[in-house]
């Protein structure tokens, strides 16, 4: 079973709606679901990132089976970085 939630977190900038951060939290119950689930989340955020061409995508492994995929201004536009929090 895959659980994914999409949430919007407004930035503190003047135009919060225009520059709203977006992230997708994912939790997987089996290893075979991870690849497809992460690809789907990244593809969704690529569409969002392409509108402003300001940032890239950061995939963070929080712990086995739990990930966050988010737009991140520290990642250059057109790139996707992966990090391990745990």
Instruction: Count up the domains in the chain and report the number.
Output: 1
β-bridge partners, 22: 8
Domain containing 30 equals 2-84
Dihedral angle, C-alpha 77, 81, 85, 86, nearest 10 °: 170
Nearest Cα neighbor of 23 from 2, 50, 36, 42 is 42
pLDDT digit string, tens, across residues 6-62: 444 444 443 444 434 589 999 999 989 999 999 999 999 999 999 889 999 999 999
């Amino acid at each position: 079973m895959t659980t994914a939630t999409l949430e919007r977190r407004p930035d503190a900038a003047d135009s919060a709606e225009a520059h709203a951060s977006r992230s997708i939290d994912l939790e997987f119950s089996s290893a075979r679901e991870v690849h497809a689930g992460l690809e789907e989340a990244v593809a969704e955020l690529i569409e969002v990132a392409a509108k402003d061409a300001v940032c890239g995508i950061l995939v963070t492994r929080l712990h086995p089976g739990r990930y966050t995929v988010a737009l991140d201004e520290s990642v250059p536009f057109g790139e996707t970085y992966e990090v391990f929090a745990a």
